[in-house]
Amino acid sequence: MKVLYALCTTYGGIPHYAAQLANAVSKYASVIVLKPERTSADELFSSDVKVINAFTPIRLRFVDVYDVRRAMNILRDSVKIFSYRDVSIVNKVNPDIIHFPDFPPQAQILANKIDKKYPKIVTLHGISDKKINIKISNPAMFFSSIAMSFWNLLSSSLLFKKEDFDRIIVHTQILRARLIRMGFNADKIKVIPQGAFDVFARTYRHDAGVEEENTILFFGNIVWSKGLDVLVEAMPLVIKEIPSVKLIIAGDGVIPKRSWQIIAKYKANFEVHNYFIPNEKVAYFFSRASLVVIPSRKQEGHSGVLTVAYSFGKPVVATNVGEFPVLVRDTGCGLVVPPEDPKALAEGIISLLRDERLRRRMGENALKMTEKLSWENIAKIHLKLYEEVLNERKGRS
């Protein structure tokens, strides 16, 4: 079987997802990856994977829509999406299966040009709510809101042609139910968990630090839905009970003004790295943490940060949104608290920091989850799905 992964996303966690999936599948099939000339995961692809630099890198990072200084990137880079119309390489490769590991606007353009003779599969990590929300409280927010609305329009499922794909993969039952409500064929939707992002624990272990007492970590894009501001609001309550506590903030995005004020007031209790964290630094931050906090306001798919935490054996405090109750509480890997509740979040953090035995047990459970969500297992599920699609195509022909 020849599997072609059409990776159209340049930055963020999607290239890492594609690399780990492609590497795992390459043990059982011939794997080719079409990707932008550079991505955030270029060094992670296995030698067993044939990589072809086929596309123009596009920034189009979701985190930029919240920053007026960078929102112009969305408008500027949107022109580049039309460079994804060349399907000559696809025809030259002549794959049995084409799998889009994500579906940004440029992937839609490519998919529309690909001959219908090729079976196509897509993974949707989330669904845009398509809401246009223009805020005019100040010029900066107005401009960012326009960029945000433009992003939602480009990535809207309205551009998504349901009949174009033999299968749609999502990571949670929540997303599957949403797609069915939107009119998608239930028989075409397959729920496959996201594999554990263990590449950082394996590949960059030599860059890891030593666990530090009473140190908590917030990692990833800093956008409203991730709830960093709620965590920062909770910190004075935690500091009151555990004066030596430290919050490491590691990620790109705009930290709200109110949060910066709290950070400045308690600067000895904060360590801020407000930029996109390169691969070689991920292990350093996770290994230093006593626990990882994911204070999300909403969560539709699986969380990459959660599986990275698991791969380092770190307990988690998360909110009870999406599937966090199942993945965190029910697995014994951490605690869940209500979203947007600084007091409840602080109580969860304090209780875990004070209970070393519980943290150790939860950390052991996290490592077990990494084994359960191994890419070896995830690859086999994908391969079974690929075979199913090919057999269906043969039956119809």
pLDDT in tens, 68-93: 555 556 556 666 677 788 889 999 99
Residue 133: pLDDT band with limits 50, 70, 90: very low
Asked whether 283 and 200 are in contact (CB, 8 A), the reply is: yes
Task: Tell me which of 41-55, 118-132, 320-334 is least confident.
Answer: 118-132
CATH number of 2-195+375-396: 3.40.50.2000
pLDDT surpasses 50 at 259: yes
pLDDT surpasses 90 at 106: no
Alpha carbon distance 140, 192 (integer Å): 40
pLDDT value of position 65: 56
Asked whether 101 and 5 are in contact (CB, 8 A), the reply is: yes
Q: Which helix (H) or strand (E) holds 307?
A: helix 304-311
Nearby residues of 261 by Cβ (< 8 Å), 6 or more positions away: none
CATH superfamily, region 199-372: Glycogen Phosphorylase B; (3.40.50.2000)
Domain ranges of the chain: 2-195+375-396, 199-372
Domains 2-195+375-396 and 199-372 share a fold: yes
Length of the chain: 397
pLDDT value of position 135: 43
pLDDT surpasses 90 at 150: no
Give the model confidence (pLDDT) of 303-355 as tens digits: 889 999 999 999 999 999 988 999 999 999 999 999 999 999 999 999 999 99
Give the model confidence (pLDDT) of 351-387 as tens digits: 999 999 999 999 999 999 999 999 999 999 999 999 9
Asked whether 218 and 397 are in contact (CB, 8 A), the reply is: no
Give the model confidence (pLDDT) of 239-255 as tens digits: 999 999 999 999 998 89
CA 117, distance to chain mean position in Å, is 31
Asked whether 288 and 211 are in contact (CB, 8 A), the reply is: yes
